Structure 1
Amino acid sequence: MVPRRRGRRPWHRSRAYRLARTAVLVTVLVTVVRCGHDMPHGGAARAGHAAAARPVPPPRPLPRSPATTLRVPSVDVDAPVVGVRLDSAHQLRTPPLDKPQLVGWYQDGPTPGETGTAIAVGHRDSRTGPAVFAALAQVPRGSRIEAGRADGRTAVYTVDRVRVFDRDDFPDKEVYGPSRRPELRILTCGGLYNRRTGYTSNVVVFAHLTATR
């Protein structure tokens, strides 16, 4: 069952995912994250030594095209994506609670492979059991994330790190800040669950674009 924090907004309407459009595209929106309902250059070859690997140039950013699917093979996620926007209170909506296997993509921010900080969100659990991002905290560094696009192309991201942040000490700028390259953040609830106060933390996956196809 998806928990609800007493006296506070539910997870899907909490400040955990409150974003303004400028938070992703231009500036950082100062937020306090809450989660109560339910993240060397290679040298020349030398004799007797293998040639050092040359750095791979980053892929060109992709033009705008909406996200359609999100795959995280390391934790068996292969989910359809729905676009989400801000509500009248400037809070980022999430997929419906009765469809816990959907991923929400902030559609007024960068699309897969576009320059900037793209945001995807999803539920950790539901009233019927684990949701799409139940295992998000277990995504290993260096693993890939594949975001399908409406134009048939795929943006492939590589995971830089996975962090669990206390909901009362959430680093807004680090998570939501603008980027000069295509990056992706995936967020869900994390930490311990208390029936009265909800989850204690947020899980955030940080990734950057490394390939397109």
Structure 2
Amino acid sequence: MTGSGTGRRAGLMACAAAAALLFTGCAGTSAPEDGTTSSAPSAVASSTAARTDPASTGTPAPSVSTAPGPAAAATPTAAPPPVPAASDPVSLTIPVAGAKSELLHLGLREDGSLEVPPEGPGSPASWYTGSPAPGERGPAVLLGHVNATGGGPGIFADLRALEPGDRVEVARQDGTTAVFAVDRGEQYGKDDFPTLEVYGNTEGPELRLITCDGYDPATGEFDDNYVVYASLVR
């Protein structure tokens, strides 16, 4: 495991450079363990309720009382967790999936694509060293395979089963553990990957778990990426 420079903490990179950051190392020789080839939108992804503008439908807007009344009580909001000091990640645990892995530290290939972890025994996950360390402000990026070479599940075999609120724990070199809660999961075609949404800077510490999806048995390739978004809770 190798350390990395602190330059990543100034932000990920310009959009043009980030556009190459696809997880392209999942060319497989066998289907995922459950044999699925799902391309349906993730059940984890949150939906937005439709809103209707009364003016656009001709429906009169409700009258608003101008009579004085008691002030509405302010809804308390939870304070965000403090941003911990920088420390590189050591290992990843997803308790609900029973998944645990040491984290390799990997960067970019010469062609600008992400270096991906090996698919051998254990199929470890990796931290992309061009992203913030987990717990720092911004999106920390972790990569892993859905299956291992020669059969068997990869560290992210059950990524699609994660639900909002599920915890993801990252042990760090300073002895602390950054704990994240899943917000949602999304499947993206590799030709339509939303680079800025996945890699763009965020106000607080967040996590991106990225693997391959959309297995095509005709080609033995994965055509999509699956991304889990999570936010620091402590």
TM bracket (short chain): 0.7 to 0.9
**CA distance change for structure 1 residues 43 and 27 in 2, over 3 Å: closer, same or farther?**
farther
Please point out which of 82, 96, 116 is paired with 2:138: 116
Shift of 1:26: 4.4
Q: Measure how far apart 1:155 and its partner are.
A: 0.6
> What TM-score comes out, normalization by structure 2 length?
0.69
How far did 1:119 drift?
A: 0.4
Partner of 2:101: 79
Give, in angstroms, the shift of residue 136 of structure 1.
0.6
| Kept after mapping to 1: 8 A contact 2:23/2:116 | no
Max radius of gyration: which structure? Answer: 2
Structure 1 residues 184 and 24: alpha-carbon distance in aligned structure 2, compared to 1, 3 A threshold? farther
> Which residue in the other structure is 1:203 paired with?
226
- Give the C-alpha shift of residue 192 in structure 1: 3.0
Looking at structure 2, the residues matched to 207 and 115 of structure 1 have their Cα atoms a distance apart, in angstroms, of 13
Q: C-alpha distance in 2, partners of 1:84/1:32?
A: 13
Question: Deviation at 1:173?
Answer: 1.4
Asked if residue 102 in structure 1 is aligned to residue 120 in structure 2, the reply is no
Shift of 1:180: 2.1
- Structure 1 runs of 4+ off > 6 angstroms? none
- Aligned pairs, how many? 181
For the 8 Å contact 1:190–1:199, the answer to whether it is kept is: yes
1:177 aligns with 2:200: yes
1:178-203: per-residue Cα shift (whole Å, max 9, x none)? 11211110100112332425112211
Q: How high is the sequence identity, in percent, across the aligned residues?
A: 33
Give the counterpart letter for 1:207 in structure 2: A
User: One-letter code of the match for 1:30?
Assistant: A
Per the alignment, do residues 76 and 24 of structure 1 end up closer, same or farther by CA in structure 2, a change over 3 Å counting?
farther
Q: Distance in 2 between matches of 1:32 and 1:90?
A: 7
User: What's 2:27 paired with?
Assistant: 37
Residues 1-213 of structure 1 mapped to structure 2, 5 A cutoff? 25-28=12-15, 29-31=18-20, 33=22, 35=24, 37-38=27-28, 43=73, 54-126=76-148, 127-196=150-219, 198-211=221-234
CA deviation map 1:122-166 (0-9, x unaligned) = 111122321111111111111111111011001111111011112
TM-score, length basis structure 1: 0.76
Distance 1:187 1:70, change over 3 A: same
Contact map agreement 2:123 2:147 (CA 8 A) in 1: no
Tell me the CA shift for residue 100 of structure 1: 4.2
Unaligned runs of 5+ in 2: 1-7, 29-41, 43-71
Q: Partners of 2:218 and 2:122 in 1: how far apart?
A: 20
RMSD across aligned positions (CA):
2.5
Moved more, 24-33 or 111-120: 24-33
Residues 32, 148 of structure 1: CA spacing in aligned structure 2 closer, same or farther, 3 A cutoff?
closer
Q: Determine which structure has the larger strand proportion and give its number.
A: 1
